[in-house]
Amino acid sequence: MPAKRKTTTRTKTQAKTRTGLKTLAIDIGGTGLKALVVDDAGKALTDRARIETPHPATPKAVLAALMKIIAPLGVFDRISCGFPGVVIDGVVNTAPNLGDAWRGFQLQATLQKSFGKPCMVLNDAGVQGHGVVEGKGVEMVLTLGTGMGCALFLDGKYVPNLELAHHPFKGKKTYEDYVGNAEREKVGNKKWNKHVKKVLEQIQPIFNPRHIYLGGGNAKHLKIDLPKNVTVTENIQGLLGGVRLWS
């Protein structure tokens, strides 16, 4: 049975106050860089722009690539950016799928200076979560892409710096080793789906979430019958959730 898929682009807890401000939403990933402009209700005002993540993915190379795809998007008033690693006060602490050159990089300040607009940077799973959580009890977001992202929310409040992906799982492997894209390409989609199922079975009795949202580029490969409290979200929520960082 195909995985259940959540298709809504707005949630009950999205900001009700209209400001008229346009937000440039950026998603930095290990495979692709994406951007679009949204209004204060989270509605896309432009098409999503995408480019492959340069390799090596140094800060200089990534920022140069972002400039190329952002330039045609037009005017905006502020910036929200999702990043695949731990970000503390706008400074990158870890970037396992991009390289050590990011450690200590002041991404928020750099984007703010480059565009002359206020900026907020958060872990990418956290940004996606802001776009989908309902704000009730414990909710989790797992993103399946180059690696595995994870975000935890309590009554709609984001709990920062949770990197479940690098916790040991299955002997010497980590969660990311088990369900990351390298493993999917190695074992095939059928077996990878079984891996995702085992991860969900492991997480449920530990965190006891009211709901788990699965996102990321590889969520489209899910074919398993998901538990009732697990849904697949549209990948674009990783961008649309950016406006919620300001509410």
pLDDT in tens, 129-138: 999 999 999 9
Q: Which domains does the chain have, with CATH numbers?
A: 23-126+240-246 (3.30.420.40), 135-235 (3.30.420.40)
Query: Model-level pTM greater than 0.75?
Result: yes
pLDDT digits (tens, 9 = 90+) for 204-220: 999 999 999 999 999 99
| pLDDT at position 10 over 70 | no
Nearest CA among 241, 227, 247, 246 for reference residue 82: 241
Determine what percent of the chain is predicted with pLDDT higher than 90. 81
pLDDT at 4: 47
**Tens-digit pLDDT profile for residues 36-86:** 999 988 889 999 999 999 999 999 999 999 999 999 999 999 999 999 999
Residue 18 pLDDT class (50, 70, 90 cuts): low
Q: What is the mean pLDDT of residues 4-32?
A: 67
Q: Does the pLDDT at position 111 exceed 70?
A: yes
Question: What is the rounded distance in angstroms from the CA atom of residue 128 to the CA atom of residue 238?
Answer: 4
